[in-house]
Amino acid sequence: MDVSPPTTAPPTRGHTWALTVLTLCAFLLGTGEIMIAGLLPEIAEDAGVSLSTAGLLVSISAITIVVGGPVLAMTTARVRRRRLIAVLLMTFALGNALSALTSSFAVIAFGRVLSALPHAALLPLFLGLVADIVPPARRGTAVGMVSLGLSLSMIIGLPLGAALGQWLSWRATFAAVGLLALVAAGPMLALVRGPHDTPAADGGSGRLAELRVLGQRRVQTVVAVTILSAAATFTAYTYVTPLLRDAVGFDPSTVTLLLLLFGIGGTVGNVVGGRLADRSVTRAVCLGVLALTVTLPLLGAAVPVPPVAVGFLFLFGAAYYAVIPAVNTRMLDVASARARTLALTMQSSAFNLGVAVGGWLGGQVLAGGLPLRWLPVVGGLVAAVALVIAVAEHRGERRRRTDPAGSDQESTAPEGRTVSEVAA
């Protein structure tokens, strides 16, 4: 057992370049997924469907990732990363181009399925590359940097997508994302060469051994917290544009700026969450989910007072994006290296299952006749359930760390990282 202090050496220039490429690609994937939130009213009008029906596009993408992610992880486990990433990026571009060329809701939905399948596989591959490139003691910060791409999609991608949709049309936003995917393929494929162009999973481990990882209680706990946190967030965020426009009373141009503010909050939360995860992973998860549990209901309560609502919108973004690097780092810690890609794919599926549940739950709230301001309140109740699970796991890890009988956990501690760091 390695109990030596972990390395704290700063990342090399090569590490920084690799993380920058991965962050930008994560930004593109995040924009492709989340841009729909800023375009729902326009898509609904053009496709001739209700707002709640258009909101199903969020759930369709999420369900595709939930189901398709694990299937892709199992069937492509022996494919070399470079070839796999090239095919996935081209498919992502194709799906967005297809959605851009039609006004049919069914065809738009099919395009979302095509773009969601690559998303299901690419983000786990990116995080797997992080685990290979960066020393374990800096894993939380590195995961936070790649996750920063997701929050940058809020700050830059979502507002720009919404603005482009208002200036030209929502189709222009889809077309732009598809084109950028082709541009991103160049630096991404340049990164995945030589020692990094390995199969997506360890060729020496069987599928049954990989699947056993999913039965581990700590893996299942991370998945549960991820699902509930995402569901809490997207119960409100799926309908954030009509919430800000119709309930709070902001005009469309101001809503675009407020989406930017949400993304700035996400960036702050992402950085804080990654640094907290380097110090104590389970505590970082608890703090992020606690912040989400508090800020969501307060956002709903602040709807009649626009300046206060703006403040809680910022805190909402910070809270949720603090959770992301924490739960992803936790998954990297508790999943064995031989099944890391599958475990991370399940993590991505968990997130998107939460997105689907949140989009559906928000639609049910509206269909039931409740006003838009109730969406974040309901989301806060869901977050409270996640908080109970996260706190129980944190306390359990602390007990196992101080209990000599719990030494079996040491075998699953990541290389270069002590048991106390994983459990703290």
Half-sphere exposure of residue 239: CA atoms within 13 angstroms, side-chain side: 35
At 189-227, the pLDDT tens digits run: 777 665 454 555 554 455 565 666 667 788 889 999 999
Confidence at 338, pLDDT banded by 50, 70, 90: low
Most confident region among 41-45, 174-178, 210-214 by mean pLDDT: 174-178
At 99-158, the pLDDT tens digits run: 888 888 889 899 999 988 888 788 878 877 776 777 666 767 777 778 778 777 777 787
Lowest mean pLDDT among 175-189, 211-225, 339-353: 339-353
Residue 314 has pLDDT above 90, yes or no: yes
What distance in Å separates the CA atoms of residue 56 and residue 43, rounded to the nearest whole number?
Answer: 12
Confidence at 412, pLDDT banded by 50, 70, 90: very low
What is the mean pLDDT of the segment spanning 341-360?
81
Confidence at 231, pLDDT banded by 50, 70, 90: very high
What distance in Å separates the CA atoms of residue 303 and residue 312, rounded to the nearest whole number?
Answer: 10
Residue 407 has pLDDT above 60, yes or no: no
What is the mean pLDDT of the segment spanning 263-267?
84
Please give the pLDDT value at position 312.
94
Comparison of pLDDT for 346 and 386, the residue scoring more: 386
Comparison of pLDDT for 4 and 391, the residue scoring more: 391
What's the 3-state SS for the chain? CCCCCCCCCCCCHHHHHHHHHHHHHHHHHHHHHHHHHHCHHHHHHHHCCCHHHHCHHHHHHHHHHHHHHHHHHHHCCCCEHHHHHHHHHHHHHHHHHHHHCCCCHHHHHHHHHHHHHHHHHHHHHHHHHHHHHCCHHHHHHHHHHHHHHHHHHHHHHHHHHHHHHHHCCHHHHHHHHHHHHHHHHHHHHHHCCHHHCCECCCCCCCHHHHHHHCCCHHHHHHHHHHHHHHHHHHHHHCCHHHHHHHHHCCCHHHHHHHHHHHHHHHHHHHHHHHHHHHHCHHHHHHHHHHHHHHHHHHHHHCCCCHHHHHHHHHHHHHHHHHHHHHHHHHHHHHCCHHHHHHHHHHHHHHHHHHHHHHHHHHHHHHHCCCCCCHHHHHHHHHHHHHHHHHHHHHHHHHHHHHCHHHHHHHHHCCCCCCHHHHHC
Q: Which CATH class is domain 14-423?
A: mainly alpha
What is the mean pLDDT of the segment spanning 65-87?
78
Of 118, 113, 62, nearest in space to 90 by CA:
118
Confidence at 417, pLDDT banded by 50, 70, 90: very low
Please give the pLDDT value at position 403.
65
At 351-391, the pLDDT tens digits run: 878 887 898 899 899 988 899 999 999 999 999 999 999 99
Angle between helices 252-279 and 281-301 (to 10 degrees): 160
Of 119, 104, 106, 103, nearest in space to 33 by CA:
119
Please give the pLDDT value at position 194.
53
Please give the pLDDT value at position 169.
84
Residue 420 has pLDDT above 70, yes or no: no
What is the mean pLDDT of the segment spanning 45-56?
82
For the chain, what are the domain ranges? Answer: 14-423
Residue 245 has pLDDT above 80, yes or no: yes
Please give the pLDDT value at position 7.
38
* Cβ count near 279 (within 10 Å): 11
Contact criterion met (CB below 8 Å) for 8 and 140: no
Please give the pLDDT value at position 375.
94
Comparison of pLDDT for 234 and 48, the residue scoring more: 234
Q: What percentage of residues in the chain have a pLDDT greater than 70? A: 82
Please give the pLDDT value at position 211.
66
Comparison of pLDDT for 83 and 226, the residue scoring more: 226
Instruction: Please provide the size of the chain in residues.
Output: 424
Record the tokens describing residue 63, joined without a space: 């369900």
